[in-house]
Structures are given as structure tokens and as C-alpha cells.
Structure 1
């Protein structure tokens, strides 16, 4: 494995495709953000890319939950399944058309197939498919 050169927050933002303000004002303030290296590049602090990658893996990226493709789930059941989105957010995103329409509304309850949810989550930022998908 080749060691990568230390990176500034601007380089981290560019490499990860995130806004500089997100990295600088949110990620670096997280308690688990790695400590800067002792050297600097100009006025910029430098970070070990491997430490940054571990932080992103553990605190930013989320795995798509393992849902049964043909089972119907309510918003609360999806939250309980650990998809990383609260039931209230699902309902709010539904009204804003940022969440797919329910696959079933029998009894006045919105429910989605696991396959529908998995597809919706795969398109959201911060989610990544597990290997083999």
C-alpha cells in the first residue's frame, strides 16, 4: 500500500466531494475527528488521510440497512431497522417529495417495500451499498 501525503481540509473536501464548509465547520468539530499532524502547509493544518478515511467510514458513511425486499415497512419500522433516518424525517421528506410514494396505504398507514427503501437510500448522500450488490 502506498502512503498518501498529508492533506488539508480543502484537499479532503475535494477528494470526498463534500463542500469545504462541511468538512471545516462540521467534521473537524466532531469529537472523533483525528488530531492534526504537527506540520503545516502554510496556514493549513495537515491530517493523515488514513485517519480521515477511518473517521468517514465510522461516522459519515452509512451502510444501507439489510431490509427484506418484499416486506412492507412503516416509517417507524424503518427507523427501528436502523436505516439512519428517523420516522419523522421520512414523513417530512415524503411531503416534500424527497422520499418515494408508499407502496401500500391500506388502513391509512404508509408502508414501503424493503426494495423501494433500499433503492431510495442508495441514492441519498452518505449511504453506500454493501459489497455484492
Structure 2
């Protein structure tokens, strides 16, 4: 009989490129976090497949296709399903973590879809759009 691979928190962190703190204090606190299947030393062991399913369903954000030459407000980007709230875009803009708007006519910040897509590509947790 072949055992399914099992992972403990440090291995999960290494495999997914996050800190152990993210695994134990953020992911493991999520209601959908899988039940452990055993213990190894002081760590709980989880089925690798269950962890992969959790990351796919609750951590990774599916890339959306935006119209490259269309202008979007922060709210329109949120509504398009990019996985980021409009308030986060505004806060990140203030902190220099989101590109300056391509257009500010009428006092509204707007970005071309191509600009937003490029910004999203540099954020952690986004899958590449399917070709």
C-alpha cells in the first residue's frame, strides 16, 4: 500500500513560497483549512492533495481578462473579479504599490486594462490566464 504524501507546516511554507507564519496563522485559521491526518513531531501533518486543493480554491486568484484599451475605475476592476477590493487598489496607489492612473479626467482615477493586468502579474497569488 502506498501512502499519500503528507506535509507539515514548514514543508507547506517552502512548497508554496510563503512564511510559516502565513501557513499557521493565516491559512490554517481559514474555515476551509483541511483537517490534519496525523502528527510528525510537534507539527500536524496534512494530506498534500488537501493542501493543494485549499491553495487552489482559497489562495490563488484566477487571472481575469481585461480589455487592454478600456479605462477602468478601481470599483470597476473589483467588479470585474480581479480579486482585489477597490479600497485595496486605492490604498496601494497611495503606498506606491499600484501604478499611477492612466487617466484622471473628472477627478476619477482610471487605468487601462493593460496597465491593471501588468500590475496584477507582479502580485503574489495570481495564475496566468489560460491561453
Query: TM-score, with normalisation over the residues of structure 1?
Result: 0.91
Alpha-carbon distance between aligned partners in 2 of 1:36 and 1:114, rounded to the nearest angstrom: 42
Stretches of structure 1 lacking an aligned partner (at least 5 in a row): none
Spell out the pairing of 1:1-133 with structure 2 (5 A cutoff): 5-37=5-37, 39-132=38-131
Cα deviation, 1:79-122, whole Å, max 9, x if unaligned, reads 11111111111111111111001111112211101111011011
Shift of residue 26, structure 1, vs aligned partner: 1.1
Alpha-carbon distance between aligned partners in 2 of 1:108 and 1:29, rounded to the nearest angstrom: 40
Aligned length: 130
Cα deviation, 1:27-63, whole Å, max 9, x if unaligned, reads 11111111111x3212221111111000000000001
Aligned-CA RMSD value: 1.5
Alpha-carbon distance between aligned partners in 2 of 1:77 and 1:115, rounded to the nearest angstrom: 14
Alpha-carbon distance between aligned partners in 1 of 2:89 and 2:105, rounded to the nearest angstrom: 18
CA distance 1:16–1:4, change in 2 (3 Å)? farther
